[in-house]
Structure 1
């Protein structure tokens, strides 16, 4: 794009962080706590913890149509409403998700890009499942020849996993599994009676020793103190924003920590679109921003830049950052920028009815389910699959339906009262999250023919799942069926929905880490190989996807990279 007149901001910062989500919040916290004067940019509006969660305490009857969205009101969120039967864009949460008409993108093949443009980003709406990667994951590319080798191993990131887990608060159970390393966990949430039954019935049933545990979730439990936050209240309204700070978000946790240092300048409504490269110095000199409200163009200078805008947006910023040295995008000597898009494929599994527990109940709305860790292709014959490589894990739960939100209707009719007070039968279900291989041809590109309202190029997606993922999905469904049948449950039904990239909301890989600048964008500390004062630590950096929810890894990589940057800066006052 052609710049309008650019205002150069007079202050030079030690660091600039682009984005305030899972990764950006951690970059801000670590840089500020290490003494760096840090400008933190977000393209969206300001969201203050507690006071800017408008539906946090509303009950279903407080909405005009309970929590259902009028279909006529979905015209601006057609793509954002693809998930969960449109549940994300209902009246309780639609304000967190973007207007698709205002923020368009194109799909060569169907891709669901879920976004939240506000301070805190998707850290407000994330699923909070929090699992470590292992060397099974970090070594996979090298062993089977897909993608490039990770430049790190588990030992490099393990202490940073420790640091992140202790700060954000992760509840769960350590299992001593090599494919799911133990963590710094607080007391686990409790499985209900049917989940415990399935847990017991799985023991010893399968040669690969699969097991069930409560999910590891970024919810506070136990007695540890976390400044400004209290334990999870089991309301299960997390996606609305939690006034208790019971789950981790940037708004309740990392951004307040950065603010307490006095070193953070947070600027919302600031659309970063170019990282400026200084040909003479051979490093980046700052970031160009459009004020989302006034449309003013501003150039902010800094010694260090952390690009944490999300996997797609961060890559797009680098792709737009062209110069004589980098005509194809900042740091793109390898040609890999924008390629190797990955997501976890899901919407496949099984469900069943469970008899024998009609006298059992549960209390509260636990915001977490059970987890069955990966048991495929662990490096031995017992777990090897002949049809596909890599693996998957399951998330699921058991419940009695149709009564938990019905208290308000107790004033309507005797028959309805009696029906509401009699719980439904028990059901149990599980859905798998599978690994996607890094394919070079799965890519994004910039479309300069279709600009957004700020004159920036929109994004074209050309991403699909291939034979390995589709073969894996068959096993994901069949093994879910097998486990529920082995438990003796009734009416077992498998499901294998359409596999659409993006629906896992775990997009990754567009600026991958690697050893070689000829085949990767970032080095082992998440620095651009050829522009060492620019770091990228969100999902774009991922070299492979593993099958675990990735946010914990983003946070650990960010903390590690920010401390590396601060250490070098404080030693040399430059990177």
Structure 2
């Protein structure tokens, strides 16, 4: 047998990062800045900052279908078309080309390109607290987190300082304050609502959304322009994305290599060394197979994607997938359940309006099951609200209105009534039967087993949803609003695009996949810091926690490399 030693040397790096989204971008930045020659593998196409934001400067009338999805879009992308429009379609996969099996309904929203879903995320950034990190231990659902707030707090500081998070300090122990840029402004109706909730509800707080949109120039990036076109990519770098922030920082080191169109089929394991030696890659376009080698591997392919890589990485030592001898990889899939809340009208403030298209709304932190005074008997854990106040515009009422001429145009140009919308985001418990597995027969276009996803909310979440709707309506009603209407739009798993779990952290290798440093218990040079590492979901938007855990794990990994432990 002849070994091509030269090719092996050319394909060897200090570190490999699988995925270039929010956590993968952070891993690339941290490892490169710490001196490691790092290869980043992305299964989709390259997207270069600014140049490839092809729709970002277009007006609504520049689009062929007026930003509406066609019947063809809906037929070919029944999942992705629920979240994209003509301006962002190119940042989402084609469902027909990327099938999966829904054993129970789950909407798997994906963006296969450099930057991943960091180009289209909602940008809400909230810290978890010990209310969240201690929850599993206290109520017995799931396993105990191997970390506490004190372990991650310095890393929240670190990533916030680089990313640029605008927000308002409120002094809440269960929603810790961060390193904030100045907050965006409430409009007058939101300020009225904030004042009324503070006056009428003990322990409830209405704050401005903490969001990764810049309110001033930051780290070479330009402030948010309040265009609210974030899902098209921001040419100003006004919001945090891998493409605008972490990947340029990685490139600047000279240690960064990017390989797009790289579908990772498996992590290669050496049973004698008890270490991973590299990854096997299928070129997405040519279907050629390559191998790349490194001393440390960061798996950041997103919650479901990372699970699939682990499950497909079989060997004599791990016949059911890398790190999966305890049958836990793929289990405990979580998402935030939402699409429930209330809306209402407001008759005052007719002489007031607002300016711009602010890219965030208000936030009401969790106020249930915080302490003995807020304890519920019908469910555990809790939820938070996001919302906004606005005046109706012509498109809300004028599309079907009758009229003609000057008076009609003046009527359309006049501001409509004030209205408020509140939507709740609730915690989902980690259930073992909510899981991802590999289909044994059906394969994708690269010859890899299709993902099978099974997910449903249970009685705890269903009871919580009743309170989510009631609480929203109650706050609006008691704050002077009229026509208060509750809603529940029958949430389907995955729709929130906050999927988590499937390779959870824990103290015991028998009941978890990763340790407190985000290492695979059984393979110490493989780290996973995307959403799959989450032990519970809390109710806060999770991406900021992925960033902090990634920076923390990279620091640990490099120190371990220097000690010769990896």
Q: Fold match, TM over 0.5?
A: yes
Aligned counterpart in structure 2 of residue 493 of structure 1, from 472, 482, 485: 485
Cα 1:9–1:126 change in 2 (3 A) is farther
Return the alpha-carbon distance in structure 1 between the equivalents of residues 276 and 289 of structure 2: 18
TM-score by length of 1: 0.95
Does 1:35 find its partner at 2:28?
A: no
Distance 1:538 1:193 in 2: 38
Any idea what the Cα deviations from partners look like across 1:59-102, whole Å, max 9, x if unmatched?
A: 111112211122233222111123xxxxx332111111111110
The 5-angstrom pairing of residues 120-519 of structure 1 reads: 120-207=115-202, 209-222=203-216, 225-227=218-220, 229-380=221-372, 382-403=373-394, 414-519=406-511
**Post-superposition offset of 1:8:** 5.2
Task: Find the residue that maps to 1:540 and give its secondary structure.
Answer: helix
Deviations, residues 496-550 of structure 1 (Å, cap 9, x unaligned): 1212110110000000000010000000000000100000000000000000000
- Matched residue of 1:66: which SS? coil
- Contact kept, 8 Å, 1:465 with 1:499, in 2: the verdict is no
- In structure 1, stretches of 5+ residues that fail to align are 1-6, 83-87, 407-411
Match of 2:544 in 1: 552
Q: What secondary structure sits across from 2:48 in the alignment?
A: coil
Name the CA distance, whole Å, in 1 between partners of 2:560 and 2:259. Answer: 26
Distance 1:358 1:370, change over 3 A: same
* Alpha-carbon shift at residue 12 of structure 1 (Å): 1.2
Question: Per-residue displacement from partner, 1:175-229 (whole Å, max 9, x unpaired)?
Answer: 110110010001000000000000011113124x21101000001113x5312x1
Query: Aligned pair in 2 of structure 1 residues 51, 404: CA closer, same or farther (>3 Å)?
Result: farther
Distance 2:427 2:542 in 1: 11
Question: Matched residues in 2 for 1:99 and 1:8: separation?
Answer: 34
CA RMSD of aligned residues (A): 1.4
* Aligned residue pair count: 554
Match of 2:46 in 1: 46
Asked if 1:21 is matched to 2:26, the reply is: no
Give unpaired runs (5+ residues) of structure 2: 1-6, 398-403
Q: Give the Cα–Cα distance (whole angstroms) in 1 for the partners of residues 540 and 90 of structure 2.
A: 28
Distance 1:491 1:154, change over 3 A: same
TM-score, length of structure 2 as denominator length: 0.96
Q: Note the C-alpha offset of 1:326.
A: 0.6
| Residue of structure 1 equivalent to 2:110 | 115
